[in-house]
Amino acid sequence: MNYRQLGSTGIKVSEVGFGAWQLGNARDWEGMEDNQAIRLVHEALDQGCNFFDTAPNYGGGNSESLLGKALTGRRSEAVINSKFGHHPDNTLNFDSQKIRSSVEDSLRRLKTDYLDSILLHNPPFEILNGSTDHFEVLESLKQEGKIRAYGASVDSAREMDELLRNTRSQVIEVMFNIFHQEPRQAFKKAAEKNVGLIVKVPLDSGWLSGKYDETSVFTDIRSRWDKDQLRKRAELLPVLKEMLEPEESLIQLALRYILYYQEVSTVIPGNKNLEQLIENLSASAKSISVEKAEKIEEIWEEKLQADPLGW
């Protein structure tokens, strides 16, 4: 496993992290047994993965609770990132007066006395310009030692730019993958500000595993995709598969494309079983060529930039 700096935080993170949205989460994904979830976290640590991304609403708090159980006695080996705004009861509330209690609840579920980083979880755009007191509250929690760094989880270059210009965020989590490349417009500015980038949804919610086609039927969160979105995704898969090296999977190509950008600190694919975990982590073993990365950029610019896919 290779490691990168998380911006100016002084924290070193595995370049492939552990997305814990699926951990114990039967509400948005297929269910997972608690013991299986704990084994996955232990295996990740044993493989050199130290970055774990969770949130209060993942599995109604169950993701944080299982992560806390799994990290008992191994907290010092892990870097934990959680969030604020989406609550365990599946409600949305970004009232700044609730940040402190939400952090305290996360700390309790995670069985720890500090979070390495916390992010506003896709907040309304007007919060990103620093005109509210959200970032003041986060700065206070940082000064108290309850968190080491803060920022926001967003989906676009426009949101990244707003954060970078108006707040003291040290960390930004952003959606970025082969099919959703618009945010890379703000990568250079993030690097100039020494802000660590966490990349979420790197496999397009599993589509870039290559296991699905336009006839696939989803009953989980991916059921939001309409037939046209499925068709467009399906048409691009053969093009990408032609780019694979011998013994390379589409998952590895997708993750290596993201890690091609040195501005990225870590990428956080989800994990439903041990086989997926090992394949995700193995992406760190090799790099993608400049020529191949530029070809993937061209595919997005020609096929998707003007008519983006919904995530």
What secondary structure does DSSP assign to 183-243, as a single string?
GGGGHHHHHHTT-EEEEESTTTTTGGGS---TT----SGGGG--HHHHHHHHHHHHHHHTT
Give how far Cα 87 sits from Cα of 60, 95, 223, Å.
8, 12, 22
- Backbone φ, ψ for residue 92 (5° rounding): -105, 125
- Cβ atoms of 261 and 187 within 8 Å: the answer is yes
- Backbone φ, ψ for residue 6 (5° rounding): -90, 80
Selecting among 3, 58, 150, 261, the annotated active-site residue is 58
Q: Rounded to 5 degrees, what angle do the CA atoms 60, 62, 68 make?
A: 140
Amino acid, res. 142: K
Distance from chain centroid for Cα 170: 16
Q: What is the pLDDT of residue 26?
A: 59
Q: What is the pLDDT of residues 139-178, one digit of tens each?
A: 999 999 999 999 999 999 999 999 999 999 999 999 999 9
Cβ neighbours of residue 262 closer than 8 Å, sequence gap 6 or more: 4, 191
Q: What is the pLDDT of residue 219?
A: 66
Say how far apart CA 211 and CA 234 lie, in whole Å.
10
Q: What is the pLDDT of residue 31?
A: 60
Q: What is the pLDDT of residue 226?
A: 76
Cβ neighbours of residue 5 closer than 8 Å, sequence gap 6 or more: 11, 12, 13, 196, 265
Give domain 3-303's CATH superfamily.
Answer: NADP-dependent oxidoreductase domain (3.20.20.100)
Length of the chain: 311
Amino acid, res. 65: S
pLDDT in tens, the chain (311 residues): 999 999 999 999 999 999 998 776 655 555 667 888 899 999 999 999 999 999 999 888 999 999 999 999 999 999 999 999 999 898 999 999 999 999 999 999 999 999 999 999 999 999 999 889 999 999 999 999 999 999 999 999 999 999 999 999 999 999 999 999 999 999 999 999 999 999 999 998 888 988 877 777 776 677 777 787 888 888 899 999 999 999 999 999 999 999 999 999 999 999 888 999 999 999 999 999 999 999 999 999 999 898 888 77
260 is known as an active-site residue: no
Q: What is the pLDDT of residue 28?
A: 56
**Domain map of the chain by residue range?**
3-303
Supply the Cα-derived Rg of the chain in whole angstroms. 18
Give how far Cα 194 sits from Cα of 7, 15, 146, 188, Å.
5, 16, 22, 10
Distance from chain centroid for Cα 121: 11
